[in-house]
Amino acid sequence: MNKFDAYITDYLYENKEVALEKIGTLKTTAAREPGDAQATSVTFIYDKKVATSDGLIHFISEKAVKNKYLITSDLESHFAQVREFINIGKSYEIPDIGFIKATKSGAYEFLPYSEINKPARTGMQQVKRKKSNNRSAIQLLTFLIVIAILAGLGWQAYQFFSKPQTGTTNAIPANIDTTAIIPVQDTVNHVNTDTTAVKQTTTYADSDVVNVKYIFETTASVLRAQTRTAQLKGFGNDAAYDSFINNNTKFYSLYILKPTRIADTLAVRDSIGKFLQKDIQLKIVQAKP
């Protein structure tokens, strides 16, 4: 369950109506009764042209203490993933409200908890099984992401502690990946020239300027990677993403590329982190000649 889904539930009960972008509008006349979802009366109007309620954006911005423009961008990405999820035959769950799923004709319909929990309703076990499978998939994906992050942190720690500590001013912050990939080039033109890349460790002075990837997010969704980088480029940032494989699953690292003095890397990292409200990883990709 995404953090936005709980906010949607809270907003609906407080304001009695909420519109979800290109999905539809939920309405209720009932007060919230915790633990008694069957007593909740909720109606749904399918509308592929509806825009997200402005009030919902302001509501989440205040609750999450986050810039409303970033909330708008994140909600657009969230609802795009929700529609993609529904269109492949899955059910989108809104906590304490019910499920939205696609019909055979391609329209969306709403199934409140009160209907799903009726013993006589056919397909109840199938809905519960889908819900369980969705949660299992999310848990597995979360586990893989955590493993990837821990592996990256472990590699950075190894790089730092394996270097001799000289005590000179050439040392750089420990959380910057200074492994540069330098191709071995043959000056003679052969048909089968071996250009296998080798890793070399480079030490920089505080005044050196390098290209740094400020990595702010890792995701398994290519749609999320494409939309988020496009939005940040629209704001004037040099945003991009690359990919890697972990346990036969493809992940995408989203980053902002910025030439930076070694002495300024931590200050720039903190500045980008405050802007995006994310934890930032640093990776040097190219040293200035």
Domain range summary for the chain, segments of one domain joined by +: 3-121, 164-287
Give me the CATH topology for the region 164-287. Answer: Alpha-Beta Plaits (3.30.70)
Q: Of residues 211 and 2, which shows the higher confidence score?
A: 211
Q: What is the pTM of this model?
A: 0.41
- Per-residue pLDDT tens over the stretch 72-119: 999 999 999 999 999 999 999 999 889 999 999 989 999 987 776 554
User: Which of 256, 3, 283 is CA-nearest to residue 138?
Assistant: 3
Alpha-carbon radius of gyration of the chain:
24
Q: How far apart are CA 154 and CA 201, in angstroms?
A: 16
Tokens, residue 90: 């899955």
Map residue 95 onto helix, strand or coil. Answer: coil
The span from the first CA to the last CA of the chain, in angstroms, equals 47
SS3 assignment, position 238: coil
Whether 265 shows a pLDDT value over 70: the answer reads yes
Question: Mutual orientation of helices 222-234 and 68-87 as an angle, nearest 10°?
Answer: 150
- Backbone φ, ψ for residue 264 (5° rounding): -105, 0
Quote the mean pLDDT of the chain: 79
